[in-house]
Amino acid sequence: MSLGDIPSKEFRKHGYKIIDWIADYLEKIEQFPVLSQNKPGQLKDSLPQSAPEEGEDFNKIFSDFEKFILPAVTHWNHPNFHGLFSTSSSAVGIFGEMLSAAFDMKAMLWRTAPASTELEQVTLSWLRKMLGLPESFNGIIYDTASVSSLHAIAMARHRILPDTKEEGMSGRTLPLLRLYCSEHAHSSIDKATILIGLGKRSIVKIESDENFRMKTDVLEKVIKEDKTKGFLPFCVVATIGTTSTTSIDDVKSVAEICAKNNLFLHVDAAYAGAAAILPQMRHYFAGWENADSIVINPHKWLFTPFDLSVLYVKDMQLLKDTFSLVPEYLKTNENAMNQMDYGIQLGRRFRALKLWFIIRYFGQKGMQARISEDCRLAKLFADWVKASPKFQLLAPVNFALVCFRAYDEKLTEQELNFLNEKLMNEVNSSGKAFISHTKIGEKFSLRLSIGSLHTQEKHLEKVWWLLNETLERLRQQKS
Ligand SMILES: *Cc1c(COP(=O)(O)O)cnc(C)c1O
């Protein structure tokens, strides 16, 4: 048995083959069903119970990958993946991932990863300018928006109760802390609040108006009431581009309320933040420059392979105070940023490389053109919905998500919900497209998201045809 890694010759041979495989895969991606057609447990049951005793030939491993793993893949890069938020991984982003795996650096101290530490600062400063955010913001990369928001909310708690770092949240008397967000805020806000030791009763869901925006007069009133009750308001989370309908909170008014009450303002723009690179979209973001922190996910709508989430923070010292603990073996005397001081992870991946590649390869204009095209396609689809007597638009199309449903005035709301759920399931099980759903009030709404580099107008025509054809079939079955 030889020790050490794969011989260099073998590495090249398989490596070239894998690049060819990926290129073929992306070229032929439409031939795959969008959602894996596997049954739960199918992959697990098809693989051995224990690891092989002896090493295996890579050709054999790869052929098993094609035979067993590939059918269990849901193809997020498929041009008709319209569920959740449609995303895609650009080729240069894939290169970034490969090189980052090759270096395998862990950015904890500057000296363990100068490249990652400094390229992250440069890339996030480029992105900040592209987004039109002021210089007062500094960026830091985490894996996901859930984790970025967790850091933001932990900072907010540290600002109001800095002694928590020493004293914790138990075994002492504290007032009830309160965090406010709209009823449409992402569940990651709830999870983060729970995780920092505050229960659900610390989370206040503010009702929203007919456009699914947080009612700011209600927010102001509730904060005031909470104060008279002796509660301790500490944070407001506003959302630009909610997950359900991409609605937009009035961040400007929310920021004023926060300033008046000395509350930390976190803006969740995980999905829609990317659209701020378009000057004509900036009005949706009015007031976000007054936030204490903002999260944006390049892995959602900036063609970056998962994962890469950016948290922009005004007070980096506060972030550092919240998390910094330096054990003796990590003490250094370099005058440089040590990224381990800015979060819960010690080591972090070299994520900035892929984003740097992507921004350089597409250029600002290229990125703008792509986001703008996605928004155009969404408006086009919404026009088809509006023009059809068989469908109904259920929410404004702010970005590149369309909320709609099949409609028939002869049916009750309950029957419509049933029909739309059936329609979605039929479309999804066809393997030709994937759409998802949300509840808007009591209405079951279909969600069609556009955000992939691979999606063109012809793909939208295909899913529109598929929806119409499936609806017609369901009707005929019924009668
Ligand atoms: C997708 C999304 C999240 C969660 O993103 P992750 O990176 O998967 O944690 C949070 N907030 C909003 C508004 C989102 O759309």
**Assessment of whether the complete model's pTM goes beyond 0.95:** yes
420 Cβ below 6 A of ligand 1: no
Question: What's at 327, amino acid-wise?
Answer: P
The upper half-sphere exposure of residue 200, i.e. CA atoms within 13 Å in the direction of its Cβ, equals 1
Pocket lining: 87 vs ligand 1, CB cutoff 6 Å: no
The pLDDT tens digits along the chain (479 residues) read 789 999 999 999 999 999 999 999 999 999 999 999 999 999 999 999 999 999 999 999 999 999 999 999 999 999 999 999 999 999 999 999 999 999 999 999 999 999 999 999 999 999 999 999 999 999 999 999 999 999 999 999 999 999 999 999 999 999 999 999 999 999 999 999 999 999 999 999 999 999 999 999 999 999 999 999 999 999 999 999 999 999 999 999 999 999 999 999 999 999 999 999 999 999 999 999 999 999 999 999 999 999 999 999 999 999 999 999 988 877 888 889 999 999 999 999 999 999 999 999 999 999 999 999 999 999 999 999 999 999 999 999 999 999 999 999 999 999 999 999 999 999 999 999 999 999 999 999 999 999 999 999 999 999 999 999 999 999 998 76
Atom of ligand 1 nearest to the CA of 271: 15
Beta bridge partners of 447: 403, 436
Question: Which two tokens mark 412?
Answer: 């009750």
At 217-244, the pLDDT tens digits run: 999 999 999 999 999 999 999 999 999 9
Cβ(309) – ligand 1 distance below 6 Å: yes
268 C-beta closer than 6 A to ligand 1: yes
What does the DSSP 8-state code read for residue 304? P
Q: Is the CB of 186 under 6 A from ligand 1?
A: yes
Ligand 1 pocket: which of 186, 247, 309 to mutate (most atoms within 8 A of CB): 186
- For residue 266, report the distance from its CA to the centre of ligand 1, in Å: 14
| Sequence-ordered list of residues with C-beta below 8 angstroms from that of 89, at least 6 positions apart, any chain | 76, 77, 303, 304, 305, 306
Q: Say yes or no: CB of residue 246 within 6 Å of ligand 1.
A: no
Distance separating alpha carbons of residues 236 and 153, to the nearest angstrom: 9
Output the six-digit token pair for 233: 């308001």
CA–CA dist 96, 89 (Å, integer): 11
| Token digits of residue 117 | 């530490």
User: What residue has token string 């390869």?
Assistant: 361
Ligand 1 contact, 266 CB (< 6 A): no
Q: Which residues contact 378 (CB under 8 A, 6 or more apart)?
A: 397, 399, 400, 401, 402, 448, 450
Q: Is residue 244 within 6 Å of ligand 1 at its C-beta?
A: no
Give the closest residue (by CA) to ligand 1 atom 12.
Answer: 270
Task: Please name each of the domains of the chain with its CATH number.
Answer: 1-23+40-73 (no CATH), 96-358 (3.40.640.10), 368-478 (3.90.1150.170)
Q: Is 447 in the pocket of ligand 1 (CB under 6 A)?
A: no
**186 Cβ contact partners less than 8 Å away, ≥ 6 residues apart:** 145, 146, 149, 239, 242, 243, 268, 270
Residue 478 confidence (pLDDT): 75
Q: Is 146 in the pocket of ligand 1 (CB under 6 A)?
A: yes
pLDDT score of 334: 82
- Measured in Å, residue 285 CA sits from the centre of ligand 1 at 17
Helix (H) or strand (E) holding 98: helix 91-103
| Best mutation site among 142, 300, 398, 399 for ligand 1 pocket (most ligand atoms within 8 Å of CB) | 300
Query: How big is the chain by its Cα radius of gyration, in Å?
Result: 24
| Gap between the Cα atoms of 248 and 260, Å rounded | 22
Q: Is ligand 1 within 6 A of the CB of residue 271?
A: yes
Q: Whose CA is nearest to atom 4 of ligand 1?
A: 145
Using a 6 Å cutoff on CB, does residue 120 contact ligand 1? no
Distance, in Å, from the CA atom of 262 to the CA atom of 469, rounded to the nearest integer, reads: 55
> What pLDDT sits at residue 335?
87
Give me the amino acid identity at 169: M
Ligand 1 pocket test, pick from 87, 143, 146 with the greatest ligand atom count within 8 Å of Cβ, gives 146
- Cα distance between residue 202 and residue 454, in whole Å: 43
pLDDT score of 329: 78
